[in-house]
Amino acid sequence: MIEARAETVGSLLRPDYLIQARAASDDVSAAEDRAVRDAIQLQESAGLEIITDGEMRRLSFQSQMTEAISGFGQWDLDAFLWGDWFAEDGAPPVSRQRPEKLGVTGKLRSNRFLSAQEYSFLAANTSQIPKITLPSPGLFANFYDPDLSGPVYPTLESLIEDLVDILAAEVRELARLGARYIQIDAPHYPLLMQSETRAFYEGLGWDLEQWLGLGIAADNAVMDAAPDVCFALHLCRGNQQGRWLAEGGYDAIARQIFAGTHATRLLLEYDDRRSGDFAPLAQVPEDKWVVLGLISTKHPELEDQDMLCRRIEAAARYVGLDRLAISPQCGFSPSVLPGGLSQTDQAAKLDLLVSTARKMWGYTKDQ
């Protein structure tokens, strides 16, 4: 069990030199290496004991799947960004249409591991706990199209089965390389809580109960591939350039996910009232920790630390304080598109994250 009291979710803002290198050259490996080292230094300087590589090598938090595996057909960054993105200030949503030809078109075949290289470089450059993020297999329901995918995957279940095999092999390789902590990103579960976004997923053939049963079983099969690794499950409602996709509390999914997942750390978005109250946390079993996503990556304003402490104390009415931790509600930059914060804002939020953990628990270190 990892018992650190503070961590980031995954992605960090891409530095300007990395953005410029991507625009100017096909070979960006040197800029990516530099960006990962800078991301490590930023997190270590803030006092974090769990360190990510900032997802500097990815177009999107989930794109290492489509980059490493053949069979996904035509795709680009828009494959991960479609939907109605709402602003924090209530402005009209920015709508991105689902690409017309988006869909698996061939049998999925591994060309390389998804994140083994990411992990090896990260682990070689930090003395702290390296964390790698992987996508939930259910996320790639977005790539299931009966017309395009049907000849090779006649059902959504058949596609998910192959994705589970790919991700399980990845987890085994990461464990072989020494990984102790892996996060599974599953934003599709909170999207089931709102009728508009749930309609897409149910239109693929699984209703809500099937998503919470078959989807969780698929996640668990991935995690069970490495029983000695600590797993986290991250649930959020989307974050792209300060915008979000859905709202609603965890009430409708808490019992099935919190009790059913084999992950022992639950990273949950709780940065504003869109996320509902803490009452669903009563469904968290005693063998799991909750990492409260209280610090927003959507706006630059720095949260009041006393307010953060009061919210942690409020959550402790449902989950003991000894099983709580704190994080941002989502990554700072889930894709290569610029976020809503500056590098200075990001550093200040990380400092606040660690200082709040120290104020509440007196330490952040894995015990």
Instruction: Give the pLDDT confidence of 121-157 residue by residue, as tens digits.
Output: 999 999 999 999 999 999 999 999 999 999 999 999 9
Beta bridge partners of 104: none
Q: What is the per-residue DSSP string for 72-93? A: --S--GGGGT-EEEEETT-PPP
216 Cβ partners below 8 Å, 6+ apart? 256, 257, 260, 261
Q: Is the pLDDT of residue 4 over 90?
A: yes
Q: Report whether 86 contacts 132 (CB < 8 A).
A: no
**In the structure encoding, which two tokens stand for residue 352, read together?**
């606040």
200 Cβ partners below 8 Å, 6+ apart? none
28 Cβ partners below 8 Å, 6+ apart? 18, 21, 22
Helix (H/G/I), strand (E/B), else coil: 351: helix
Q: Is the pLDDT of residue 238 over 80?
A: no
The fold of 16-361 is: TIM Barrel (3.20.20)
Q: Is the pLDDT of residue 244 over 70?
A: no
* Tens digits of residue pLDDT in 204-214: 888 889 889 99
363 — pLDDT class (breaks 50, 70, 90): low
Q: What is the pTM of this model?
A: 0.95
Q: Report whether 245 contacts 238 (CB < 8 A).
A: yes
Chain centre distance of CA 2: 17
* Tens digits of residue pLDDT in 34-53: 999 999 999 999 999 999 99
Cα separation, 281 vs 269, whole angstroms: 12
Q: Is the pLDDT of residue 364 over 70?
A: no
What are the Cα distances from residue 295, in Å, to 7, 38, 139, 204, 218? 11, 22, 24, 34, 30
* Tens digits of residue pLDDT in 68-118: 999 999 888 787 877 777 777 777 877 778 888 889 999 999 999 999 999
Please give the pLDDT value at position 366: 45
Cα separation, 64 vs 291, whole angstroms: 25
